[in-house]
Amino acid sequence: MPLIQVKQTPGKTAEQKAELVRELTDAYVRATGAKPESVWVTVQEIAADSWSVGGDTLAARAAQR
C-alpha cells in the first residue's frame, strides 16, 4: 500500500483538497501501474505559526509582507 503524505498550511477548500488527492492518486497510478484503490493519500494541515522556514514561522513571514 503506497502512502502519499501532504503537509500544508490551512486554507484550501474541501474541493481543492479532493482534487489534489485525485491528481496525486492518478499520477502515482500512471507512474507505477498500481491500482487506484491501493493508493492512500493523507493531507495534514499545519498552522502557519507551527511551521518555520529559515528560523521564522510562516505566520511571521506573512505578517512582514
- Whether residue 36 lies in the annotated active site: no
**Could you say which of 2, 26, 36, 50 is catalytic?**
2
* CA 31 to the chain's CA centroid: 19
| Cα–Cα distance list, 3 to 29, 44, 53, 56 (Å) | 12, 13, 25, 30
User: Active-site residue numbers?
Assistant: 2
